[in-house]
Chain A
């Protein structure tokens, strides 16, 4: 309490000394998890906003990885020191949504602050992930991406394949990989980042298979995982076989840190990862030309649509009223077409509004950067079904860990695909039940 008194005295002293207009500025803390270049681009958004008006000041601070940022915000909330805005990754959505009383839903915030807000302006495939059962938007989409396929055109040509045709089906991925390896054009066929996100969650959505009951968990906390279906089992069985044959190389758990170098050094010819990896691919693929394609599907199925990953901005409850006015104002700026188009083009994340997409088109961005719109086309390929809207499970950060563990057990030959997926479902459901009990 001493420090507040001190601060008050200090503030009083300052206000007597200098009644500058800057003193009336409302500061808003924004905790985020964007390091490196992405962090610089994020800071630029805040700096531009701060220079364009004088009432509010958004102060971004980097808090580490996604998981660290979320944990920091939760710890801060428990200590009543929470920031107004926190960036939370998509797998934390279930936890944030269940925390009624800790978050201030965005639709409510915009209404209370009287900011113009049209939810229909946002891309349904993006916003659908973050709405409640009544269709209200709970958090502000910020950086969303979806996995796509990258391939090495030069290696394709060396292997006697058409350099302009990406593999469309898994059967083609296998055939192409064999040809690439047999011809000696590259040491391995393909690798992938994010086993959990790309080869299980998106795989299921892309093949219109349920990830969990109750519309992948959108329908309530009583949901259960169902990723041990025949198609997912078939796919994991194949991945294990391809790994043994050398067609596929494993890039490690979580994001798969070892996968990008395998593609950059031309060791693997095909690479599946987030559309936001595009900037990195372009920067690192110095000695070869990169081609882009949609995710492969099995030949006897029809592709549905892929789902997103990335993060949204959540507003935390319990801050002074004035700050929420600032947050609402900032969100209006953030979702404007110009800001969004610039962010989308600079990072490879998806445009979150139709207007930003249209603006990028009219600016000729996609003509100048072939492959940059594969992600959007793939995500909007079909009207999302209950299986392909997204997913919403509690404790999902841990479940992602379980997915990695079971996949490792599969590749190490300790389990077959069916057992690995069955165990994954059993272990995941235990966590979901615990989460349900804790949040009832």
Chain B
């Protein structure tokens, strides 16, 4: 590749400056602060602070409730990603087969994406409310006692549905685009060779969709890990008995409600490490393999 040579040393920096400033002010600076704070024990008002080294971290990893939160997060993220992708893929395959109403269908399916997560959470909270909700009423008729304010499993099911519902639209869009990028001639050729619809799906469509799926897997995992805070906050608030207390929510509870800033900062740093790993994975594998 030919290398462009700029005489002016200052201009590129000037052009980069706004971007760099934003990165520094909104990312590097707060991240550094969190890093520093995670080594301190501090009272809420910041009047007294003591350097305590890695004590916040060692305390964290010795805390069964933190480890529980890690487990909860894994179960939650995997379930949300799998559910959101499976449903979206099914819908996308259905939409892809439609000829006349595909446009309308697609538009309708994208709507939920425009709903703010907090509103989505609240909607599901109403639908599943043990006292006034519709679903518990219906479940009661078939003999299931729905009470997610006490039953941890039901509570988890609720937040998974609420969190996945929102993400389905997003996944759907990508899957539809991915499906449309698969040349019809390949499927037709397979059909002529005698492959049935199932065979065509598993041998042609899904493998060709793999880059999209892999991309969505990472995006959905990141979404489930970090963007589901409003859903949790509006539905279960991490309860009952920490059954839905995912890592991001725990950072908020310990830092903003409990005012335990050192521990909260240490938890943020751990989360930051997770994001970095996920980003590396994304760049290493996906950027190479996804063909838009």
Contact = CB atoms under 8 A, between A and B. Distances in A.
The prevalent SS among residues of A at the interface is: helix
B241 A406 contact: yes
A101 B131 contact: no
Contacts of B258: 395, 397-398, 401, 431
Nearest to B237: A253
A401 B152 CA distance: 16
Interface string A389-433: 000000101100100111011011010000000000000000100
Contacts of A408: 149-150, 239-241
Interface string A57-99: 0000000000100010010011000000000000000010011
B260 A261 contact: no
Interface string B172-205: 0000000000000000000000000000000000
The prevalent SS among residues of B at the interface is: loop
Contacts of B291: none
A99 to B, nearest CB: 5
Given A99-B44, A408-B150, A253 B239 contact: yes
A384 to B, nearest CB: 28
A291 interface: no
B10 interface: no
B250 to A, nearest CB: 11
Interface in A251-286: 252-254, 258, 261-262
B241 A102 contact: no
A438 B49 CA distance: 7
Contacts of A405: 239-242
A71 B48 CA distance: 17
Give the interface residue-count category, chain B: 20 to 34
A260 to B, nearest CB: 10
Contacts of A78: 45-46
B1 interface: no
B9 to A, nearest CB: 30
A250 interface: yes
Contacts of B253: 398, 401
B43 interface: yes
A77 B45 contact: yes
Contacts of A24: none
B241 A439 contact: no
Interface residues of A, number: 36
B82 to A, nearest CB: 26
A262 B131 contact: yes
A254 to B, nearest CB: 8
Q: Which of the listed residues B152, B239, B254 has the most CB atoms from chain A within 10 Å of its own CB?
A: B239
Contact of B239 (A67, A102, A404): A404
A437 interface: yes
B90 interface: no
A438 B149 contact: no
A358 interface: no
A258 B239 CA distance: 15
Nearest to B254: A398
Contacts of B152: 412
B257 A261 contact: no
A129 B41 CA distance: 28
Contacts of B257: 67, 71, 397-398, 401
Contacts of B237: 253-254
Interface in B238-267: 239-242, 253-254, 256-260
A401 B46 CA distance: 24
Contacts of A112: none
A338 interface: no
Nearest to A434: B260
A438 B239 CA distance: 28
Contacts of B256: 67, 71
Contacts of A258: 129-131, 149
Nearest to B131: A258
B150 A411 contact: yes
Contact of B47 (A102, A262, A412): A102
B241 A101 contact: no
A13 B259 CA distance: 43
Given A258-B130, A398-B257, A401-B253, A252 B44 contact: no
Shortest 4 CB-CB distances between A and B: which pairs? A408-B240, A398-B258, A102-B45, A405-B241
23 contacts: A67-B256, A78-B46, A98-B43, A99-B44, A101-B45, A101-B47, A102-B45, A250-B149, A250-B150, A253-B239, A254-B237, A258-B129, A261-B132, A401-B257, A405-B239, A405-B240, A405-B241, A406-B241, A414-B241, A434-B41, A437-B41, A438-B50, A439-B48
Given A78-B46, A404-B239, A406-B241, 12 more contacts: A71-B257, A74-B44, A99-B43, A99-B44, A253-B240, A395-B258, A398-B257, A405-B239, A405-B241, A408-B239, A434-B260, A440-B48
